[in-house]
Structure 1
Amino acid sequence: MEIFYLLCSIVSTSLTSLFLSLVLTFHALLRRRNSSRAASSFSNIEAEPISLYEGTVWHQRRHPVNHSFQYRVRYALIDLDRAPREPHDHLSPDKARQITDTNGPILLLTIPPSVGYEQNPLSVYYCYAVEGSTKWLKKCIAEVTNTPWGERVSFLFNPHSDLVAKALHVSPFMDMLGSWNIKANDPGENLTISISVHHPEHGNYFAASLKARKLCSSPESDHAVFFWLMPHKVAVWIYWQAIKLWWKNVRFVQHPRYNIPSYKDEALMRDNKLQCCGCLAEASPQNRWFRWRDAKWPWS
């Protein structure tokens, strides 16, 4: 039945995206005719609250088979306090500051929706502290969303380096026993995020990274063209790599909600143990914040 729902979702999304792509093409042609007004937008580019990044996502698995791949990706880094509209389905800047106990800017790294579809395996909030004229990156919040269920876990982490108990069934080819070692730099001309999985039996058997560079910005009206079908491409890559792992006979792991209904509580306990063991730069069980969002229909 879930396969049937997945196929229906793919067909529905494809038809919607095709129609909206035709609308986007029509709008792009109209904007080209008004090139003089578009040129004037570039003169105010420094005031834009959105920075564009392009780079590469890389994955490598070393157990039970060797499997690696990489693909090109485009991201937006949004100043949430200055954005003309709040991004849908994300935290507000005030909520992010409350969670991280910061008082400075909040930047959100994400792939914006495109022609009616959204696919964001990972979004990151960069939360800054300000004292006088000094600003520094103090904390980050990760939003991890799984495919195809659309479940999400959000959690606080130290960008300099942190070890977080795995709290979401991200891949049907991984169990829930690992921990995420996550690190992110202060985004500037270059942006990097690295994640590795520490497993009690398999060791450090999985690693992933995002490396991107900042591009010359474009007028906001061109962002829809810049991100056209980007979420769709990410989804295709996810499903294609899943097919490859299945073809390599990697064992399929059932979603823990069917056999470990308390997996969220277990993740919290494992994370508290990580912190109590001094694995964090600021070791204290009270510092970690988690929030889950359940699967959307029809997976709920």
Structure 2
Amino acid sequence: MPEPSIYIGQVSHKRLTPFVHALDYKVFSLLLDIDKLRETASDTRMFVYNRTGVVSFHDKDHGPRDGSPLRPWLNNILSEHGYELRDCPVRLLTFPRLWGYVFNPLSIYYCYDRGGHLKVVLYEVSNTFGQWHGYLLPVTREASGPVSQKTTKEFHVSPFMPVDGTYEFTLTPPGEKLSVLIRYKGEQGEDRMIAKHTARRSDLTAAGLASALSKHPMMTFKVIAGIHWEALKLWKKGAKFHPKPDLPRNHITG
């Protein structure tokens, strides 16, 4: 079972239609045990839980967004979708708040059974309009190897992409390395966008956080600034604008 960790790596996006547009940026994420957030904060200077700090994690940035603990919410989600994993071990991969600010385009909950086998993944997707949606997908791989998953796109992320087609996820669960590959395909099966996150593990310690912060001191601000800057470049290139549709009826789909 992976311990709370820092993952330092890179995110890349490549739009393929109607023209090619690519970007990449360096990031660091935290892998957290959702049942030991207070203990992690107590053990790790520089990292605080539900308080203002240089590096912090707030319950209100995830799940129901009301500041309540994540475990009861996630238990209900799993039970409602037929997964017998109540109080199962869960690791959350996400950006921390830096200097009190964060925007998480994608956070990932890895849900394990008591034997330490990955059984379900929840992809928590957010857009810049303050909305979010979750894709809850089972893990059907054999004992080893990458996880492959597929789901219908239900949620408006970019105003320059429609809400149709499918997502195909390929991920390597957290270990000494991790990777997440997302292919967004159109209704005819054509690739529209490819995104990838690769990272290498580091210990979640005060020294590890200080090192990551020294290399990426304004990371969370750069993420949201970069999204808007790239949107401006897409608009100047003539990308078709898609108005924001109504939210899906359910916050979680699979």
2:32 is matched with which residue: 70, 78, 87? 78
Partner-residue secondary structure (3-state), 1:264: coil
Residue pairs, 1:24-39, within 5 angstroms? none
Q: Which amino acid aligns with 1:55?
A: G
Residue pairs, 1:155-234, within 5 angstroms? 155-159=135-139, 160-201=147-188, 203-219=190-206, 222=209, 226=213, 228-234=217-223
Taking the aligned partners of 2:3 and 2:220, their CA distance within structure 1 comes to 21
Aligned equivalent of 1:95: 73
Shift in alpha-carbon separation, 1:154–1:253, aligned structure 2, 3 A? same
1:120 is matched with which residue: 97, 104, 121? 104
Partner-residue secondary structure (3-state), 2:92: strand
1:110 is matched with which residue: 79, 88, 94? 94
Aligned residues: percent identity?
31
User: Which segments of 5 or more consecutive residues in structure 1 lack a partner in the other structure?
Assistant: 1-47, 258-262, 269-287, 292-300
Shift in alpha-carbon separation, 1:289–1:220, aligned structure 2, 3 A? farther
- Asked if structure 1 preserves the Cα contact closer than 8 Å seen for 2:8 and 2:202, the reply is yes
1:240 is matched with which residue: 229, 242, 246? 229
Over the aligned positions, Cα root-mean-square deviation in angstroms equals 2.7
Aligned equivalent of 1:153: 133
**In proportion to residue count, which structure has more helix?**
1
Taking the aligned partners of 1:94 and 1:188, their CA distance within structure 2 comes to 26
Shift in alpha-carbon separation, 1:212–1:251, aligned structure 2, 3 A? same
Paired residues, number: 214
User: Which segments of 5 or more consecutive residues in structure 2 lack a partner in the other structure?
Assistant: 39-48, 51-57, 64-69, 79-83, 140-146
Give 1 or 2 for the bigger CA radius of gyration: 1
Q: Deviations over 1:74-128 (max 9, x none)?
A: 1000011122147422241343244333253111111111222120000010100
TM-score, normalisation: structure 2: 0.75
- Asked if structure 1 preserves the Cα contact closer than 8 Å seen for 2:150 and 2:166, the reply is yes
Residue pairs, 1:2-13, within 5 angstroms? none
Aligned equivalent of 2:4: 50
Question: Deviation of residue 224 (structure 1)?
Answer: 10
Partner-residue secondary structure (3-state), 2:98: coil
Question: Deviation of residue 65 (structure 1)?
Answer: 0.5
Aligned equivalent of 2:242: 253
TM-score, normalisation: structure 1: 0.65
**In proportion to residue count, which structure has more strand?**
2
